Amino acid sequence: MSSIVTWIQEQMASARQQYGVNPAVFLGLMVACAPFFYYSIYRLVRAVAKKEKGQVALWSSVFLAATSVPYLYVLLFGRNLPWYIYGVFLALIGQGVYQLVKKIRK
């Protein structure tokens, strides 16, 4: 058991040193955003069922923000990341913004 904990600590230290990203902060952001993520899904489904367009736009935005915050942390504070990581993150965020704009226009 202690070897697993040691391995995890080594991996976290390596990520902090090599990429400048603290995995504990990333995990903390994921956990902190989880209630907003799930509540926004609940409210979004409810707004779609009631056909409340203003509420759909609002809760879509909250959903996008709750999903993006941990990854934005990596984009903003990470260094020496492989080039494709930036591409994947930006593509995911861009796709979310595109879907949000598309829903708002409907």
Residue 15 pLDDT: 84
pTM, to two decimals: 0.74
Q: What is the pLDDT of residues 51-91, one digit of tens each?
A: 888 898 889 889 888 988 998 898 889 888 888 888 888 88
Judge contact between 79 and 19, C-beta under 8 A. yes
Q: To the nearest 5 percent, what fractions of the chain are helix, strand and coil?
A: 90, 0, 10
pLDDT of 106 reads 67
Q: How far apart are CA 37 and CA 11, in angstroms?
A: 28
Catalogue the E-assigned strands of 13-92: none
CB atoms < 10 A from the CB of 73, how many? Answer: 17
- pLDDT per residue as tens digits for the range 11-36: 889 888 988 899 999 999 999 999 99
